[in-house]
Structure 1
Amino acid sequence: MDDGARPLWRQRDFGTFWFAQTLSVLGDSFAMIALPLLVLQATGSLARMGLLTAVGGAASVLAAVFAGAVVDRVDRRRLLIGCDLVRMVLYGLVPLVWACGPRGWLLYVVLPVCEAVGMLFAVAYVTVVRGLVDRDRLTEANGRLNATAAAAGVLGPLGAGLVAAWTGPAVAVGVDAASFGVSAACLCFVRIRARAVDGAERPGRAGLWRDLRTGVSFLRHHPVLRTLTVLLFVFSFLTLGLTDLVIYHVKHDLGHPDGTVGTVMAVGALGTIAGSLLVARVRRRFGFGPTWTGSVAVCGLAFAGLGRTHAVAVVAVLSAAFLACVGMAGTCSMSLRQEVTPEPLLGRVTSAFWTLQYSAAPVGAAVLTWAAERHGTALVAAVAGGCCVLIAAVAPATPIRGA
């Protein structure tokens, strides 16, 4: 049987990449819970948690400026392996150092570098799928990857919460490091087809800034992508700190242990699975504009209610609703970008899009958590959620409506 006609799970290269990518997401989801818990353990401060998120987000944004040009220049498989190895080593340092006592400063060193490397991995991942499967199977491949990534997003927070409860959050970071090591080993056996690149679209040698401008120019001249970039800029500013807010609300406001935090986040991640499974069907029925707009509106309503509930079960359900709709809106956005962007430009356009989208998000995370610590999670969540609903209200008056 021709390899391209086989089920995806029986195609060796894609199957191995699929497994490696799932492990990388699992590691990221462990870090998402374990690192804020370490900060809270060392300082007891929500503002310090938000500052760590902001520093990591800023490093990710800075890396996004150059990620697309780097991905379009180097061997993508080696880049993915290198990214996993760097994260394995850096995250592996945390439990070793923590064994001698809490060292909060280390997290502000490790996380920014790991976030920057993670951005390189993410941009490379978007382009690699096209080198693993035929063009007519891209949608199927992306769906499989998103579904298992969402499942890892469920197991990661749950596992991180349980490990943190039993042995401490530092050990959970060590598990995170191990997952990246296994992922790197798997990627060593993946073969990626070379892309045919038009000379006019090949990255030049004039500099990375010119390549970034190439991606920005494409976004600026596409009316829907231009509008999405602006609206997602505001949305990311408002929502990047949501995980810290939920963790603080469950532990500080409601008085529950680390294990409950992991359970809440795992239940929330179930929403991501639901969103990944539903988005294709919903978009086919209602179109891009209504699907994206409705998803953002539900995100805002769920966010607004998070800080006002005192029941852990309701917090988990609202987190699931938020993450489901974030997943639907994000998948719609990424799919549209893949559909309309020429393949040789995809890395640079993805890099430019993420740079612009998240450029203010670290500041937003710091502001959100600082305000919540002083004025309460209920008020801050209500204001941020209301602003997200306003974004959804504005979208139908833009080119998104007819996308």
Structure 2
Amino acid sequence: MENIIRQRALPLWRDRQYLLWLGSDTGSALGMALQSFTVPLVALVATGSPAQAGLIAALGQLARVVCTLPGGVLADRRDRRKLMVIGGVLGAAGSIGLCLAVVVGGLGFWSLLVLHLFMSVRNGVFGSASDAALKDLVPESRLASALAANQGRDAVISLAGGPLGGLLLSVSQTLAFGAMGAAHAVAALSARCIDSPAAPRAPDARTTAAPGSHDGDNGPGAFRSYLAEGTAGMAWLLRRRDLRGILLISTLLNLGINASIISVIFALQQRGEPATTIGWVSASMGAGMLLGSLPAAALLKRLPTGLAVCTGLLVMACAMALLPFTQSPILVSVLFGISIFGAPTINAGLGGYFMSAVPTELLGRATSASALLGMAAVPLAPLIAGFGYPAWGWAGLLCFCAGICVFATVLAVANRSLRTLPVQADWAGHAETHADRGTNAPAAGR
């Protein structure tokens, strides 16, 4: 116990537990980044149809969304470290399957669809475990700094993911999928080395499952138990006045931004741009995130979180609104970078407040419910891109995507609960003032 307390008193960069978690989460994030970049492009090459490629991407997104809620329940019931290990192993296995399909010459619409669905289900079921484990390993006073550091890590992955994916694809599809598998293997190994299991805390009277809904149940009873616990977590979030408006805005923003990115990737591919050029355009968002992550922690300590978030959203909306008026890869890259500059502060601020407001024993379910609502419309993004580009062209499609981002920003600025989020030091007190009689952690099976 003394050793754990001593480690948690160390700076994050010297905290072994956090560094191992970061290594695992980074491997998983890189694997998913390579998947999201390579699979749509490989699908375009294999099928020759933007509509079919969009359908593969959309069904993968849908599978991830559907599996998010049960994944959150699993993260609250089981040892989160073991779930991270299993998720990494399954990610490596799916990547090996893609490599074998390429080698035997069987990579087509159906094989890509099945393997992409498998990987997407893995992302949904095991993604919540890593997010929830962070609060088990990092004290609340350092959550904002940890999340800001993670935003910088995400920026590096976004910066490197596109060019790396494009470079690997230019050599061979097998190499690209092999790198994806290696990243997931690193995630599994790093999670396995965490000393203290990132397991949920012992359940109390509020979270103990009702009779007939224990972990060992099988069949319909177990399914009903998981469904009840997952929906209870979502109901808890929706009863929180300070969180539910944020979730709606996140849903719209995720749709608008993802649709813009996929639309640009599809359009550049269809007009014959090489994979390396597409990769560098995608990497521009990583560059913007990396630069934006540098001041994120300091801004959240000094500025009210609501002010920082709304300012970042206004910059994002303005940059997205300019995208339809240029087709130059260089200018598109600049606008993408500007649009995402405020994202690290936005994500660290909202994510840190979210973790501060949610009880640890509910964090897996609440995180998965938040991800479900935030990604609910994302499966529409590749469909918008795949069917919208032939119908509306570059300008029309990106005007539609920009309109979604602008609408979400207007809702955010008009949302008093979001605008009034305080500085980091006052998060706990602010969350307490918004907690009411209906927001205690739900009991499973009610």
How big is each residue's C-alpha offset from its partner over 1:122-165, in whole Å with a ceiling of 9 and x where there is no partner? Answer: 21112111222333333333333332232122222211111112
How big is each residue's C-alpha offset from its partner over 1:327-375, in whole Å with a ceiling of 9 and x where there is no partner? Answer: 4433332222112111111111111112122223213431343112221
**2:327 is matched with which residue?**
310
Partners of 1:293 and 1:334 in 2: CA distance: 15
| CA distance 1:285–1:390, change in 2 (3 Å) | farther
* 1:245 and 2:263 are equivalent in the alignment: yes
TM-score (norm. length: structure 2) = 0.83
Measured after TM superposition, the shift of residue 211 of structure 1 is 1.2
Aligned residues: 401
Q: State whether residues 80 and 198 of structure 2, in contact with CA within 8 Å, keep that contact through their aligned partners in structure 1.
A: no
How big is each residue's C-alpha offset from its partner over 1:92-139, in whole Å with a ceiling of 9 and x where there is no partner? Answer: 111221123332222211222212211233211121112223333333
Q: What is the SS of the residue equivalent to 2:341?
A: helix
**2:244 is matched with which residue?**
226
Measured after TM superposition, the shift of residue 227 of structure 1 is 0.7
Measured after TM superposition, the shift of residue 9 of structure 1 is 3.0
**1:110 is matched with which residue?**
115
Identity of aligned residues (%): 25
* 1:199 and 2:204 are equivalent in the alignment: yes
Q: State whether residues 69 and 203 of structure 1, in contact with CA within 8 Å, keep that contact through their aligned partners in structure 2.
A: no
* 1:53 and 2:57 are equivalent in the alignment: yes
**2:149 is matched with which residue?**
144
Q: State whether residues 75 and 200 of structure 2, in contact with CA within 8 Å, keep that contact through their aligned partners in structure 1.
A: no
| CA distance 1:310–1:129, change in 2 (3 Å) | same
**1:98 is matched with which residue?**
102
Q: State whether residues 289 and 344 of structure 2, in contact with CA within 8 Å, keep that contact through their aligned partners in structure 1.
A: yes
Unaligned runs of 5+ in 2: 214-224, 422-446
**1:290 is matched with which residue?**
307
| CA distance 1:55–1:193, change in 2 (3 Å) | closer
Partners of 1:227 and 1:81 in 2: CA distance: 34
Partners of 1:184 and 1:377 in 2: CA distance: 41
TM-score (norm. length: structure 1) = 0.92
Partners of 2:298 and 2:365 in 1: CA distance: 29
For 1:213, which of 219, 227, 231 is the aligned residue? 231
**2:394 is matched with which residue?**
377
| CA distance 1:93–1:321, change in 2 (3 Å) | same
**C-alpha root-mean-square deviation of aligned residues, in Å?**
2.2
**1:189 is matched with which residue?**
193
* 1:119 and 2:124 are equivalent in the alignment: yes
Q: State whether residues 47 and 108 of structure 2, in contact with CA within 8 Å, keep that contact through their aligned partners in structure 1.
A: no
* 1:321 and 2:326 are equivalent in the alignment: no
| CA distance 1:7–1:250, change in 2 (3 Å) | same
Q: State whether residues 147 and 277 of structure 1, in contact with CA within 8 Å, keep that contact through their aligned partners in structure 2.
A: yes
Partners of 2:23 and 2:149 in 1: CA distance: 11
More helix by share: 1
| CA distance 1:295–1:113, change in 2 (3 Å) | farther
Q: For structure 1, which segment, 137-146 or 311-320, has the greater mean C-alpha deviation from structure 2 after superposition? A: 137-146
**1:83 is matched with which residue?**
87
Q: What is the SS of the residue equivalent to 1:116?
A: helix
Q: State whether residues 46 and 244 of structure 1, in contact with CA within 8 Å, keep that contact through their aligned partners in structure 2.
A: no
| CA distance 1:135–1:391, change in 2 (3 Å) | closer
Partners of 2:60 and 2:315 in 1: CA distance: 27
Partner amino acid, structure 2, of 1:159: L
Partner amino acid, structure 1, of 2:226: L
* 1:268 and 2:272 are equivalent in the alignment: no
Measured after TM superposition, the shift of residue 61 of structure 1 is 0.8
Q: State whether residues 240 and 362 of structure 1, in contact with CA within 8 Å, keep that contact through their aligned partners in structure 2.
A: no
Q: For structure 1, which segment, 374-383 or 240-249, has the greater mean C-alpha deviation from structure 2 after superposition? A: 240-249
Runs of 4+ that moved beyond 6 A: none
Unaligned runs of 5+ in 1: none
| CA distance 1:193–1:20, change in 2 (3 Å) | closer
Q: For structure 1, which segment, 90-99 or 328-337, has the greater mean C-alpha deviation from structure 2 after superposition? A: 328-337
